[in-house]
Amino acid sequence: MIIAGLTLTGCERAVSAPANRGVCWRQVDGLNGKPDFRVVAPNVETLEDCASRLEALRMAHGRPVTGAFQGRFIYVTDQEITAAAGPKAQRYRVFTPDQRVKIQDGVRTLMAREKGAAG
């Protein structure tokens, strides 16, 4: 019985990133703990634009974010922002540290403006 369960687990399809053109996605836990994707923004031009939006989510919520853009995964952690063709594929850096600092400064500015408008 246990062997049958292990065999079925080994047959599960690997998670693939949505390939919809121009849509930035965030990966969330779906039903039964299986990964699901939710739209962050439509009409996004580049993977870098999507990665910047995911960085804003990470900063707002204080935890790592996994997202996707046109079939590629994007991983946003405190240390770096990387992208890969799949969960087990080699990751490559999306932004240099200096570029990321500029993105974070822009996100902080936008957050401060939103906070001021809401207050």
> Any idea where the domains of the chain sit in the sequence?
13-118
More confident site: 8 or 86: 86
Predicted TM-score of the model (pTM): 0.85
Angle between helices 97-118 and 47-61 (to 10 degrees): 60
- In the numeric block, which tokens belong to residue 18? 């949505």
What is the rounded CA–CA span in Å between residue 67 and residue 62?
15
- In the numeric block, which tokens belong to residue 98? 């200096």
* CA distances in angstroms from 15 to 8, 35, 40, 62, 67, listed in the order given: 16, 7, 19, 25, 12
Q: What is the pLDDT of residues 38-78, one digit of tens each?
A: 999 999 999 999 999 999 999 999 999 999 999 999 999 99
pLDDT for 11: 55
What is the rounded CA–CA span in Å between residue 65 and residue 74?
8
- Enter the DSSP assignment of 16: -
